[in-house]
Structure 1
Amino acid sequence: MVVVDSDSVTVFRLKGLLELRCHLDTTDALLMQKVISRTFETLRLQVKSESCVLAVCDSPVIIWPNKGIYGEIPPSTLCEDVHQWIQLDEQESGGKWSTKKKSKKGLSVNVIKLCLMMDVTKPGPLSAPIASKTVQKSHFLSATLPMDCVVRPSCNDTIKDTCEKLVEALTHQLCEMEKVTLQYMRGTTLFIPEPLHFNLPEPKGLVTVVFPAGVPDRELETQRRELHHQFELPDDRPYFRRANVYHFPNEPYKDGYLRNPHMFLTHPTLDNGKLYLVQGTYSYHHYMQDHVDDNGWGCAYRSLQTICSWFQQQGYVELPVPSHKEIQQALVDVGDKQASFVGSRQWIGSIEVQAVLSHLLGITSKIMFVSQGSELASKGRELANHFLTEGTPVMIGGGVLAHTILGVAWSETTGQIRYLILDPHYTGAEDLQVITDKGWCGWKGPDFWDQTAYYNLCLPQRLRII
């Protein structure tokens, strides 16, 4: 595995395919393992040979690292300066070159992508082909290996240094793939080794691990426990389930939902105040999504969906985020509602959210009762403790409205408090700029709540699993 500091300015990611092909003249397990090991060694030698080619994506630069050829880039170029050879998507038609890619908020994107290829052209005159025929019984094993390496260069590393590290990372990843292939081989059937990246708590950062594709997470618990021990991680929360895989910047999510819009906000400053925020990743669920017109009645459903997405994307559960009808059916199944509730446009509250989380996901929740909104200003300690220990989104319902609380800024000395609110009442498109600028995800003061209304808060608790 490869460990990369996740707060780096520049990260190089190399992806590509290598073909694993070998003839097996026997089904003897030990002999087959020797042949497969020799084939992996051939691939490692190929990666270290002069035929290894690295193409910098979105640029004309081609690099032969083992030949010392770096295309248009001088080998002494610092890695942070490689951006100037990379073309922005929006500038391709004009032929202009960029020094840095930027997101909507002006943050530098720190991933430089490269493609792994092999030069098949051989130097010297070509000999005439010779055909021969051999008749024998054998097994032919063929697999495509999805190479995916990440390297974080130091501030003084040159492109030459980094390319050498990428070749080392490729070689190491082939070693890890060989171990996984042999460990999970069943007769002449191979499970494809799959490199996955996980972002661990600081200072560990980004880690690359190889798992067998097709083997479910529940059968990899032993390997995950070993990784937890190796990286000194607690055994009461998942870090290496596939749902925890790191999502690289500028890669869109296939489901279309926004993730963690609060990350683009400026946090408030309070006298002696501290921030206590949701931990991990969630999806923003709000009115009018999924072709469902729930404007005016579905806010608590959407808050519940956001909570469910958190448990799914942290790897605690594998179930998809439930639809409105599935939420309603769950409440019928637990005896909370009549059968006619399914398909209706009736509201639900915090107690129903608690029941659905328990029934569908096996999640327990604490309920905080607040007799009037003015008392929420005094709940800083309880909310801060929740985000510090559990880190889950909180659903709050009062009157006819429901919201999701993602964190608090709270001062223990002065009692000042601000709430980080994700508002499910938004009806527009998945436009991060609008959502953050217009306050659909934003920091609110104590006057945000109806001072005389009764509120219930549902505080979901983490599962204690690895």
Structure 2
Amino acid sequence: MVAVDSDTLTIFRVRGPLELRCQLDSTDGLLMQKAISRTFETLRSEVKSESCVLMLCDSPVIIWPNKGVYEEITPDTPCEDLHQWIQIDEQESSGKRSGKRKGKKGLSANVINLRLMMEVTKPRPLSAPVLRKTIQKSNFLTASLPMDCVVRTSSSDTIKDTCTQLLEALTQQLWEMEKAILQHTRRTTLLVPEPLHFYLPEPIGLVTVVFPAGVSDGDLETQRKELHRQFDLPEDRPYFKRANAYHFPNEPYKDGYLRNPHMILTHPTLENGKVYLVQGIYSYHHYMQDRVDDNGWGCAYRSLQTICSWFQQQGYVERPVPSHKEIQQALVDVGDKQASFVGSRQWIGSIEVQAVLSHLLGITSKIMFVSQGSELASKGRELANHFLTEGTPIMIGGGVLAHTILGVTWSETTGQIRYLILDPHYTGAEDLQVITDKGWCGWKGPDFWDQTAYYNLCLPLRPRIF
């Protein structure tokens, strides 16, 4: 298990394929299992052999951990010093590439990637080749095992220490892959094991689990329940569904949406104040995305999409984030709107957001009514309790504007409050720096709201499901 939130930690991640080649001379289940186990034992031996090579990505550093051979570094090199060897390939304005440089602060700087490889050729005396021909019927199982291990190191750890941990993690993952294959392989059909990383509540941190690829989350319920018991986790949320798999900072999401832009913000300081934030991952949805020109009318749709993304990425639902037309059709289907509403540019509000969440996702929501914006300053306790117990984004609509509330800082003693706002009215590119510097995602005071306008808040409730 790996915790990733400390500035003094470096996370080493080693990835690479190991080829599984297993000849099955019998269809007897027990004999098949023994043959597969022998093949895995061979792979574990390879990891412990002198042929095992670890290559630091984007770097000239190469390590033979079982030989004690280190190119460019020494066994006693501190782990954190490896950052200076990593090449950052960026096209500068002059067209030149940048050279060595230290990583940036934050988690992205603390993740060091290595490539697992095996030397194919070995020095040995030359000999004449020998050919032998054998004719027999047999089945041959082949698979490329996607090894993916992470280990945590502290600033005092050396490269030699880290290599020892990495080899232990690789060996352990091969045991887990063997177990997964033996449980799910039938005759000549082999389900490739799939390592996934999950970030669990502190102090547990990051853990790696092996699931068989192609087996649904539902069919893995028994294994997921066992993991909940192993880590003493409640069975009221799906921690180990694939949608919850951890994405490392250097791996952008393929859909292009920003995730959790609020994470780089500094929390405001209030006297005796506490911070209450959205729990989990969401996508930032705003005007002009998805080739839809909704500038001036689609803010509530975008806030709803952000909320839907939260439920999808926490593993509560599998349905993709709905489009504007799908949202409109849902309101027609529940009888809230006429058929002509589909394809229109009409606004929606908190009540419609509640109806769509119920109809498309089966999610229940509470509605908080505020007769005028000045009253929102007195809602600190209710909002803090929502983020503490439910942890979902809140949609707030008032007048002609809709926003998403991602958290509050609230002082029980003074009543002071600040709101973490995600603004769907943004029309620019997915530029995190611009979005946070310009306040499209930022902390706002009570004067952010129209003091005389009424507001409705849609507070989605998190399902208590496994």
Cα drift, residue 91 of structure 1: 7.8
Instruction: Output one character per residue of 1:287-340: Cα deviation in whole Å (capped at 9) or x when no partner.
Output: 000000000000000000000000011111111100000101111111111111
Does the alignment pair 1:64 with 2:67? no
The amino acid that maps onto 1:157 is D
**Aligned counterparts of 2:133 and 2:97: Cα–Cα separation in 1:** 55
The amino acid that maps onto 2:392 is T
Match in the other structure for 1:458 = 458
Instruction: Output one character per residue of 1:399-439: Cα deviation in whole Å (capped at 9) or x when no partner.
Output: 11100000011111111111110000000111111110111
The 8 Å contact of residues 149 and 166 in structure 2, kept in 1 or not, is answered as yes
The 8 Å contact of residues 286 and 425 in structure 2, kept in 1 or not, is answered as yes
Cα drift, residue 444 of structure 1: 0.8
Match in the other structure for 1:17 = 17
Match in the other structure for 1:84 = 84
In the alignment of these two chains, the number of paired residues is 461
Match in the other structure for 1:332 = 332
The amino acid that maps onto 1:65 is P
**Aligned counterparts of 1:74 and 1:383: Cα–Cα separation in 2:** 54
**Aligned counterparts of 2:50 and 2:107: Cα–Cα separation in 1:** 37
Q: Secondary structure at the match of 1:209?
A: strand
Match in the other structure for 2:122 = 122
The amino acid that maps onto 1:97 is K
After superposition, where does 1:364-403 map in structure 2 within 5 Å?
A: 364-403=364-403
Match in the other structure for 1:7 = 5
The amino acid that maps onto 1:56 is L
Q: Secondary structure at the match of 1:217?
A: coil
**Aligned counterparts of 1:414 and 1:142: Cα–Cα separation in 2:** 66
Match in the other structure for 2:222 = 222
**Aligned counterparts of 1:95 and 1:178: Cα–Cα separation in 2:** 43
The amino acid that maps onto 1:101 is G
Match in the other structure for 2:99 = 96
**Aligned counterparts of 2:255 and 2:21: Cα–Cα separation in 1:** 35
The 8 Å contact of residues 88 and 98 in structure 2, kept in 1 or not, is answered as no
The amino acid that maps onto 1:392 is T
After superposition, where does 1:262-411 map in structure 2 within 5 Å?
A: 262-411=262-411
The amino acid that maps onto 1:266 is T
The amino acid that maps onto 2:169 is A
Larger mean Cα displacement after TM superposition, 121-130 or 213-222: 121-130
Q: Secondary structure at the match of 1:376?
A: helix
After superposition, where does 1:234-273 map in structure 2 within 5 Å?
A: 234-273=234-273
Gap runs ≥5 in structure 2: none
What TM-score results when the alignment is normalised by the length of structure 1? 0.97
After superposition, where does 1:92-171 map in structure 2 within 5 Å?
A: 93-94=96-97, 96-98=99-101, 100-102=102-104, 109-171=109-171
The amino acid that maps onto 1:7 is D
Instruction: Output one character per residue of 1:184-236: Cα deviation in whole Å (capped at 9) or x when no partner.
Output: 11222111001111111111111001000111111111111111111011110
Instruction: Output one character per residue of 1:260-285: Cα deviation in whole Å (capped at 9) or x when no partner.
Output: 11111111111111111101110000
The 8 Å contact of residues 91 and 97 in structure 1, kept in 2 or not, is answered as no
Q: Secondary structure at the match of 2:269?
A: coil
The 8 Å contact of residues 48 and 66 in structure 2, kept in 1 or not, is answered as yes
The 8 Å contact of residues 191 and 212 in structure 2, kept in 1 or not, is answered as yes
The amino acid that maps onto 2:117 is M
Cα drift, residue 107 of structure 1: 6.8
Q: Alpha carbons of 1:129 and 1:156: their partners in 2 closer, same or farther (altered >3 Å)? A: same
The amino acid that maps onto 2:249 is P
Q: Secondary structure at the match of 1:152?
A: strand
The 8 Å contact of residues 6 and 206 in structure 1, kept in 2 or not, is answered as yes
Q: Alpha carbons of 1:194 and 1:124: their partners in 2 closer, same or farther (altered >3 Å)? A: same
The CA RMSD measured in Å over matched residues stands at 1.3
Cα drift, residue 108 of structure 1: 5.9
The 8 Å contact of residues 367 and 459 in structure 1, kept in 2 or not, is answered as yes
Q: Alpha carbons of 1:95 and 1:451: their partners in 2 closer, same or farther (altered >3 Å)? A: closer
The 8 Å contact of residues 58 and 86 in structure 1, kept in 2 or not, is answered as yes
Match in the other structure for 1:206 = 206
Identity %: 83
**Aligned counterparts of 1:437 and 1:70: Cα–Cα separation in 2:** 43
What TM-score results when the alignment is normalised by the length of structure 2? 0.97
Cα drift, residue 124 of structure 1: 2.0
**Aligned counterparts of 1:461 and 1:96: Cα–Cα separation in 2:** 49
The 8 Å contact of residues 12 and 113 in structure 1, kept in 2 or not, is answered as yes
The 8 Å contact of residues 372 and 455 in structure 1, kept in 2 or not, is answered as yes
Q: Alpha carbons of 1:165 and 1:236: their partners in 2 closer, same or farther (altered >3 Å)? A: same
**Aligned counterparts of 1:460 and 1:226: Cα–Cα separation in 2:** 29
Match in the other structure for 1:48 = 48
Q: Alpha carbons of 1:398 and 1:85: their partners in 2 closer, same or farther (altered >3 Å)? A: same
Cα drift, residue 34 of structure 1: 0.3
The 8 Å contact of residues 13 and 148 in structure 2, kept in 1 or not, is answered as yes
The amino acid that maps onto 1:46 is E
